[in-house]
Amino acid sequence: MIVTEAHLVEGLFERELPSKAPRDGFGDGLVVLGERNPDVVVLTGDLADSTRVSAFRDRFPDRFFQVGVAEQNMMGIAAGLAICGKIPFCSSYATFSPGRNWDQLRVSVCYSEANVKVAGAHAGLSVGPDGATHQALEDIAITRVLPNMTVVVPCDYHQTLKATIALAEHRGPAYFRFGRERTPIFTTPETPFELGRAQVLRHGSDLTIVACGPLVLEALKAARTLAAEGIEARVLNCHTIKPLDVEALVAAARETGALVTVEEHQIHGGLGSAVAEALALHHPAPMEMVAMPDSFGESGRAEELLEKWGLTAPAIVERARRVLRRR
């Protein structure tokens, strides 16, 4: 069954949206988990405040592990804790985890099917002034290729909180990424969240925009612009990259005939690649991709960087027009 949540965006742009950092959703979700499940433990690589695990540390100090700037060691410790029956959450910047400790993630966690949850904070360009070395734009690619791994990219504060809780209840290795900056909140505490199920946030029959992370809102903005031109775009929030909701994607390809994917990640190996792989096997359709164009980022304000590399609503609109010409 395809999950439809189009009612969420009714009147979305007619009101001022509150904003909050997705990393706060992660931190708040951990506190909820700490109260519910004594097996939940948290590890961090000297980034407790920045990744928002400090609240868990303060509430449950006996279940918190500060491993220092040693991300590879952190992943090994997490694997050991998981094998002993705990549910460890590893928190760091995504460039360090899974970036720096990918070998340990591959062998100690995924090969062993250890129940470790890896939280990649400060993902994408939104880390801004920290520059290219800290802007994780490859993390979806390097995690979704690993056997046994679940990969999730929530769209706002509420969905990050729900993803944190859902992944604790899911058995097996998992990676989820989220940004640093405050972003608009356009889901609600009551909005359903199910791993592996894309959400239809807007109905449309002319094409489909498939997005993940904070850029889902840019996809909705683009759909509004297209509607003013008489083009009705379906918008899918594809928050789970692996396992991918092939049913929803095939339905979109069959019913709308063309797709645009949108992500704050390299154009190679991320959401766009996953969608292309699925459709090539099940229902080929014209596609365009809005993503980082095989480039490193640079230091600057998040909004400046997103605009420079075409990760905003106007770029999505342009790609939508282009794919319609190919349909």
* Catalytic positions, written as ranges: 71
User: What is the CA 288 to chain-centroid distance, rounded?
Assistant: 20
d(CA 270, CA 277): 11
In angstroms, rounded to a whole number, what is the distance separating the alpha carbons of residues 26 and 20? Answer: 11
230 alpha carbon, distance to own chain's centre: 30
Evaluate whether 125 touches 305 at the Cβ level (below 8 Å): yes
- Inter-CA distances, 42 with 55, 137, 264, Å: 11, 24, 27
CA end-to-end distance (rounded Å), the chain: 27
CA distance 65 to 318: 47
Distance, CA of 144 to CA of 299 (rounded, Å) = 27
CA dist 208 and 276 (Å) reads 13
Report the residue count for the chain.
327
Structure tokens at 216: 């889902």
